[in-house]
Chain A
């Protein structure tokens, strides 16, 4: 049977009044309520009946620090502006990105092949354009003798020449052409009636010598 706890020493002439008390769960007993600062102590429980541990000062400080990192309204506004700006962009889908990646890998393979060709010297190129004659060509007849002598069309080697054409006018005797080291047995042979074309870099001076293999031989010379 329940029985309230009453004050043990009521004022004279008065009945003992119940003291602030609470009923203990699962029991018929009551216990006096204790408190502080004008309020009874209380235990917080969650919906499942578990006691909720109140925040300590340390935890409150942690919360304060976390809240300090929360974006302000200004920062949120900036973020909203940025989101508005990118919301109209046409971002690639994963499929598109995969296609681009595949294309890049293909290009990489091709570039590696081109690089390999360049290093190995197997690169095939097609040159187009026209060789331009920048000054009047010079023609002349020269006599090639048994003395190794420079061959050219005019009175001296044409400056900045890009081509030298020599035609052996003799019907039976060959000549030899080349550098100053040629002899009547060493050098490029130019048979009777044959001609040869030699291309030059106009910026480089390269003398061409000729020598007869037997007697004097007239040659027709063109310099461009």
Chain B
């Protein structure tokens, strides 16, 4: 995931995230009020919400194979 924070003035920052680097065609954009540090902290929250809401776009992890001898 890549992101960019842009100062919009009046204490507002725009966050743009992209998942193209992961092969997922998803981009997101939001605005937060506060300092650049506040925006930086919010990026991870925004990213997590996008991964949750658009989980169907992301490749699902392969289920771990359980060795037969461990099956009881």
Which A residues lie at the B interface, using CB under 8 A? 140-143, 145, 147-150, 152-157, 180-181, 207, 209, 216
Contacts and interface: CB of A to CB of B under 8 A. Distances in A.
Given A145-B42, A155-B27, A180-B10, A150 B32 contact: yes
27 contacts: A140-B49, A143-B45, A143-B48, A143-B49, A145-B41, A145-B45, A147-B32, A147-B34, A147-B38, A147-B39, A147-B41, A147-B45, A149-B30, A149-B33, A149-B45, A150-B30, A152-B30, A153-B53, A155-B27, A155-B50, A155-B53, A156-B27, A180-B12, A180-B31, A181-B33, A207-B31, A216-B45
Contact of B28 (A156, A180, A209): A156
Contact of A148 (B27, B28, B34, B53): B34
Ranked 3 nearest A-B pairs via Cβ: A148-B33, A155-B28, A140-B53
B11 to A, nearest CB: 8
A207 B14 CA distance: 12
What does DSSP make chain B's interface, helix, strand, loop or mixed?
mixed
Contacts of B29: 155-157
Contacts of A145: 41-42, 45
